[in-house]
A and B are shown apart, each in its own frame.
Chain A
Amino acid sequence: MAITAMVHSLASRMQHWCRKLVDNPALGHKVSSGLFSLLTLVIGLVIGVLVLNPLWGTLAQPNLFPAAILPPITGPIDGLFYIRNAELGYAWSTRDPLSLWFHPLLSSFLQVLPGWLPKNSWFWLISLVFAAACLPLIFRLTVILTGNSSVQPKMIPLCLVAPGGLSLATGNAEIPTLFFSTLLLLSVLAWEKWWLTVVSAAAAILTKPNALYMVAVLFIYFLFAVATRNLKLWKHSLLGMAALLGGWLIWIWIVDWQTGHPGAYWEARLAFSPYSGPVDLRGFFEQWLNAFLVDDLRNQIRFSTAILIPMVSLIVIGLVPFASEPHRYAFAAGNLAMLIISLALGNPNKILLYATTLPGYFVTHLVLLAWLISQRRQQNMGARWLVGACYLAYCVGMQVVYVIGTPLGWYF
């Protein structure tokens, strides 16, 4: 009797919710974007567990996946160093760059989490939670930036097709950074909550220094706001930049103070490889050329992807329709910031994953796909086919680099 009543109550509640969703398309969009985000994560996890995990374990170069980050999906590449900082603390006394390079937020999270699970499992779970929270925000941002509904929630799983998109299912610091950066952009452009702007900017920079790309993005919005006398946008973009730079400076000061050595942060950051030659713009291109002269596949891929990914992103940004042109310039500025930092430091590592920290990355990917498969196919058919084929080949190529290249160290 009680069970029948419960089922009846549940059914009536569901009916009530369904009616609410039908009556309110905006709410329906939110719910379906949440559901498709979860579906995306499930698909990503299935691929991750059934394909990436065994493949990475089999192909991994010696010592690439030490015991602390097994199974490999839990913390590939940089994960080890966040986990090590959480377990052992920062190497203040030795000023080990492998410790000081990594910003503190994720390691601090790991430190306070209970010991029921190993740290690498927690690291993976944290990343998955951020991925699940991030995808609806990406969708929300897409709708705001394009100003139309050409991108449907059912397209969210296509984020996995984007270069580096499969990292949504792995343990990493890039997706949490993307979450905070997207939150920051939404706060600046739509929600206009000063506390959210400050908190998300500070959290983004304390997760990874890649959040600095957002300074370039916000600077464009700031210029546009000044030119159009948009006071709210002016304030929020400036606040966001100040919080990003302020958070960064505080962390630099903490590192210098804890090590007792002024300039320790910069020294660690510049020492990206003790064996490297000239790490500057010229050195970057020389090493790239050298890789082809000596037939060094790893460096060919490492340096080529560092140029190719930002350039393709810039082209995609130029192709897709935006509700307002400043968005195009803002995203381009973010990409250029990533490219310039990479060139200036002579460091081509991990651009495939760094690109995913930019909020515009998945947005432009989804909008481009929506444009390519839109109903009005009769328009510019030839151009669409060409762009579609090239972009598909690019995505497939980059997925190969990610899937095969992670255990073989091709892109880092």
Chain B
Amino acid sequence: MGLGILGNLLASWLEPAILQDAFLPWNLVAIIALIVIGVVLGVRAQGGKFTWFLNQNTYWSLLIFVGVALLVIILLSVITRRTPVLYFVIDTTAKMQPIFNDVRREVQLSTSLVPRTFKIGLRTYGGSADNIPNCQDTEQLLPLQTYDNFSARIDSVLARLQPRGNGSLTGAVLEAIYTDLANENNHIQMLVVTSGTDPLCDPTGGGILERRAKEVKDNLEVIIISIGEIDASRKQILNSYAEAFNGRHINVPTAASLHSIVQNAAYYGYGYYGDGTFPGEPDATLVP
């Protein structure tokens, strides 16, 4: 196992991006092939007797080999550790008015648990004071970077906002993908917090998004979180957005559920046990 990985480690001195390849399945294939070749050569050297290989000393040699390989992988994981990225897109349109304070509190609480090693950012849509509907009303309020105290920053930013006007969820997500996250190669979890769709600004189906969404990179995971009761047609629309972005839509009853979802996103996976449902809420819609 070591040779393939060490080869990549050496190559990384020339070009750090090559380190990504250390975890390609081809390395595993190369390692297994090396072991098989070693065994075959050994067997041939011993006059074709396979059983010479099976002794306790050889076992310990192989075990040390496996142990060293495991240590190399762990070391490599430390060196090449990808910086996890959490990106919030929060709806601040008029329809968020009744729940905005709850959302603000939950986002502040949940982000206080996100480690400082994470890169975090915030974009909002809506909030314009104009009486004229403006579907392009979206702005990046906290750029993507590591923060010493992100929860305080996001709270102070959200405190200044007043939910009003119109805005486009899909427009904000696409703007985030093509502008804010365009140069980000780490694994990104984008959490879109909304109370539903805006009929004025959002398309009624995911189909028209699919062409643009196909360009979305594999390292992006979009989770659309709708809060409160939404009717079947809006649910369907949000599902279709999630499908178009190759992500998922989750409908939660109250903003309180945000806490566990952000925590799960930050900690990579929670567990599926308990009451037989996934954490968060019982109505999670997995797409596809």
Binding site for B on A (CB under 8 A): 61-64, 66, 77, 80-81, 84, 97-98, 223-224, 226-228, 271-283, 285-291, 293-294, 296, 299, 307, 311, 314-315, 317-318, 325-326, 328-329, 332, 336, 349, 409, 412
Asked if B132 is at the interface of the complex by the 8 Å CB criterion, the answer is no
Question: Is B276 within 8 A of A66, CB to CB?
Answer: yes
Asked if B208 is at the interface of the complex by the 8 Å CB criterion, the answer is no
Question: Is A274 within 8 A of B51, CB to CB?
Answer: no
A-B contact count (CB 8 A): 120
Total B residues in contact with A, Cβ cutoff 8 Å = 47
Assembly CA distance A84 to B50 (angstroms): 49
Smallest CB separation, B49 vs chain A (Å): 8
Q: Contacts of A84 on B, CB cut-off 8 Å? A: 276
User: 9 shortest A-B CB distances, which residue pairs?
Assistant: A227-B50, A276-B269, A285-B77, A63-B275, A277-B268, A275-B264, A325-B54, A63-B274, A282-B23
Question: Is B23 within 8 A of A273, CB to CB?
Answer: no
Smallest CB separation, B41 vs chain A (Å): 16
Assembly CA distance A98 to B284 (angstroms): 13
**A62-B274, A274-B284 known; A293+B117 contact, CB < 8 A:** yes
Asked if B70 is at the interface of the complex by the 8 Å CB criterion, the answer is yes
Out of A80, A289, A318, name the residue touching B56 (CB < 8 Å): A318
The contact string, 1 if C-beta is below 8 Å from chain A, for chain B 123-148, is 00000000000000000000000000
Of B78-86, B95-103, B162-170, B173-181, the segment with at least 4 beta carbons within 8 Å of chain A is B78-86
Assembly CA distance A227 to B269 (angstroms): 45
Question: Is A409 within 8 A of B273, CB to CB?
Answer: yes
Interface of A is mostly: helix
Assembly CA distance A223 to B23 (angstroms): 29
**A287-B268, A314-B63, A318-B59 known; A275+B261 contact, CB < 8 A:** yes
Question: Is B82 within 8 A of A286, CB to CB?
Answer: yes
Q: Contacts of B119 on A, CB cut-off 8 Å? A: none
Q: Contacts of A81 on B, CB cut-off 8 Å? A: 276
Residue of A with least CB distance to B28: A281
Question: Is A277 within 8 A of B54, CB to CB?
Answer: no
Assembly CA distance A277 to B269 (angstroms): 7
The contact string, 1 if C-beta is below 8 Å from chain A, for chain B 230-266, is 0000000000000000001000000000000100111
Asked if B267 is at the interface of the complex by the 8 Å CB criterion, the answer is yes
Assembly CA distance A285 to B82 (angstroms): 11
Question: Is A299 within 8 A of B66, CB to CB?
Answer: no
Assembly CA distance A336 to B77 (angstroms): 20
Question: Is A274 within 8 A of B286, CB to CB?
Answer: yes
Q: Contacts of B183 on A, CB cut-off 8 Å? A: none
Residue of B with least CB distance to A336: B66
Q: Contacts of B261 on A, CB cut-off 8 Å? A: 275
Residue of B with least CB distance to A273: B269
Q: Contacts of B284 on A, CB cut-off 8 Å? A: 274
Question: Is A325 within 8 A of B56, CB to CB?
Answer: yes
Assembly CA distance A226 to B221 (angstroms): 49
